[in-house]
Amino acid sequence: MARPARTYIFNDKYVGAGMDRERRDRYIGWLRRGILAECGLMAVAAVLAAGRPVSRIEQSLSNNTLFIEDDYIKWVDFTVSYEALCTAYEWDVKTHGTEHEVGWVDLLAYTAAGTGGTFDKSALKTMEKAAQAISQGEKTMEELAGKLKYFSYYQDAYDAALGGLVGEYREECVDEAGNVTYEERYGLKGYFPLARGFDYTHYDDFGVGRSYGYQRRHLGHDMMGLVGTPIISVESGIVEALGWNQYGGWRIGIRSLDGRRYYYYAHLRQNYPYAEGLEVGSVVTAGDVIGYMGHTGYSTKENVNNIEITHLHWGLELIFDESQKESDNEIWIDLYALTRFLAKHTQPAHKVGDTREWVRSSRIIDPAVEEFQAETPGSSPGAP
């Protein structure tokens, strides 16, 4: 996941070694940014002259906020709508295993590259037309996207956001005699973040102001519910953070197995926040119960309920380079549409006797977990 040491340029900060190199890199950085900005402005001017609305990507190029060639992505505006997620996913599942498969990430990237990241009714029609052409063998995605300048950007950005949610897995099946078998499946293997059957409310609150500690934007999605509601791991991954944070209270951080996504679950229950046996380094499978909803946080003292409304805050950070993980350049995305989409795949849970513990009611076997554990001897087992 880490890359060799090199000099990067982002948000007017320079990372390098030695004063001479720093001055040299600063000059090169100014030169490259000037060229890129000039090209961006020329592109925007051409668009305006043609009478077409300026896209988000074209605007970002004119401001030099996208990325520098041969460098990692530093900005993603995840604007994919719920309807677009559903449409692309349905085409992916319907064509899986056929001669002409339609990958949902590629289909979304193709649509965004043509609209500048807008997913209105017109964009959905464009998506349907492209999917039909590919599925019938009339066109390939390479042919359709060949002239779209920003296709590769959207492809990489959307794969980072969605890459672990759809694929092959094996699902537990129990017959009337209690015999357990596992059947092959293809589709949504990511899960809704709350256990099935527990009431909740939510709305799109990404970017809303927060004032505790300092003025900042809300970089996650809040789901209001009841204390003790089981929290479900959206994707398989490795527990990277566990414990108290003055902003998030009792919280869990889980890194996806490919290293590109960091899931953050915060404000967990006072006194009993986590699933039994969960610890830093644990490997969890999508659908595992990992913790319980509460309202802890906003305190430097541990185990304090200073959040007024009981809710789960869950966030998703995209990581294209390890230098982004905890920096001024973190990329958190709006999860409202994705949360609605994940409601297609919920995990039932049942209580363990008279304890406060809940566990998932049906299991899956995720090939990504099997592969990771085979390559990482001694990795910890996941939650129950």
**What CATH number has the domain bearing residue 235?**
2.70.70.10
The pTM for the full model equals 0.81
Q: How confident is the model at residue 117 (pLDDT cuts 50, 70, 90)?
A: very high
In this predicted structure, the answer to whether residue 381 has a pLDDT above a threshold of 70 is: no
pLDDT tens digits for range 238-253:
999 999 999 999 999 9
44 domain-assigned: yes
Among candidate residues 25, 28, 30, the one with its CA nearest the CA of residue 7 = 25
Q: Is the same domain home to 103 and 54?
A: no
Q: How far apart are the first and last CA of the chain?
A: 28
Q: How confident is the model at residue 24 (pLDDT cuts 50, 70, 90)?
A: very low
173 domain-assigned: no
Q: Is the same domain home to 340 and 209?
A: yes
Across the range 343-358, mean pLDDT stands at 97
192 domain-assigned: no
178 domain-assigned: no
pLDDT tens digits for range 167-204:
999 999 999 998 999 999 999 999 999 999 999 999 99
Q: Is the same domain home to 343 and 218?
A: yes
Which of 31-40, 43-52, 117-126: highest mean pLDDT?
117-126
Domain count, the chain: 3
Q: Is the same domain home to 129 and 274?
A: no
Domain holding 112, by residue range, is: 82-162
Q: How confident is the model at residue 209 (pLDDT cuts 50, 70, 90)?
A: confident
CA gap 200, 7 in Å, rounded: 46
184 domain-assigned: no
Q: Is the same domain home to 106 and 221?
A: no
The confidence score (pLDDT) of residue 211 equals 62
Q: Is the same domain home to 366 and 222?
A: yes
Q: Is the same domain home to 154 and 93?
A: yes
Q: Last residue of a domain, which of 16, 32, 62?
A: 62
Among candidate residues 312, 296, 308, 195, the one with its CA nearest the CA of residue 264 = 312
152 domain-assigned: yes
Q: Is the same domain home to 217 and 348?
A: yes
pLDDT tens digits for range 310-348:
999 999 999 999 999 999 889 999 999 999 999 999 999
75 domain-assigned: no
Q: Calculate the alpha carbon distances from 328 to 12, 74, 332 in Å.
A: 11, 11, 11
The confidence score (pLDDT) of residue 207 equals 80
DSSP string, 120-182: SHHHHHHHHHHHHHHHTTS--HHHHHTT-TTHHHHHHHHHHHHTTTEEEEEEEEE-TT--EEE
154 domain-assigned: yes
Give yes or no for a contact between 234 and 193, defined as CB atoms under 8 angstroms apart: yes
